[in-house]
């Protein structure tokens, strides 16, 4: 089994733009919350997605599996908790949760499979060495 890395949690508040007309978080926005946390993981580890793109490289989502548990609401303070596991030199799995900061209530649990590809060939390629070092 490969190493499981706990990522830094990402905290933020739920605003009107995150909700539907009932004041609850629109279901697709949990995917955005997960994405923000994954992007922060890369930034925290000095991996620039803009620089990768200049080199015709990118992270792409292969699969997303979400279990909705409860609805976050307008004004809630939440955090995204993430753990990442390297599955190969071009694929990693993020286990992520959206949780209420005040009462630890879980809103959603997600498993996101991320692959690293060459944007020209659309084929998997080895992660940058900086990212591989994180998993050693």
pLDDT in tens, 110-130: 999 999 999 999 999 999 888
**Domain assignments of the chain as residue spans, ordered by start:** 4-134
Question: What pLDDT was estimated at residue 134?
Answer: 85
Residue carrying structure tokens 């998997």: 124
Q: What is the pTM of this model?
A: 0.93
Given a contact cutoff of 8 angstroms between Cβ atoms, the answer to whether 65 and 111 are in contact is yes
The closest alpha carbon to 24, from 82, 80, 79, 69, belongs to 69
Decide if pLDDT at 1 tops 60. Answer: no
| Tens digit of each residue's pLDDT (9 = 90 or more) over 28-38 | 999 999 999 99
Question: What phi and psi values does residue 100 have, to the nearest 5 degrees?
Answer: -75, 130
Annotation marks residue 136 as catalytic: no
CATH superfamily, with its number, for domain 4-134: Hotdog Thioesterase (3.10.129.10)
**Catalytic entry in 18, 20, 44, 76:** 20
Decide if pLDDT at 21 tops 60. Answer: yes
Burial classification of residue 85, based on how many CB atoms lie within 10 Å of its CB (0-12 exposed, 13-18 middle, 19 or more buried): middle
DSSP-derived secondary structure letter, 68: E
Helix (H) or strand (E) holding 78: strand 77-88
């Amino acid at each position: 089994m490969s190493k499981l890395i706990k990522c830094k949690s990402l905290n933020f508040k739920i605003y009107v733009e995150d909700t539907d007309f009932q004041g609850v978080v629109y279901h697709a926005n949990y995917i955005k919350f997960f994405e923000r946390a994954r992007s922060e993981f890369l930034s925290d580890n000095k991996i620039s997605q803009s620089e990768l793109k200049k080199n015709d490289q990118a992270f792409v989502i292969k699969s997303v599996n979400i279990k909705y548990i409860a609805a976050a609401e307008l004004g809630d303070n939440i955090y995204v908790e993430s753990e990442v596991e390297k599955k190969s030199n071009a694929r990693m799995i993020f286990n992520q949760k959206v949780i209420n900061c005040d009462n630890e209530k879980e809103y959603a649990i997600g498993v996101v499979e991320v692959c690293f590809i060459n944007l020209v060939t659309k084929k998997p390629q080895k992660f940058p060495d900086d990212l591989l070092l994180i998993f050693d």
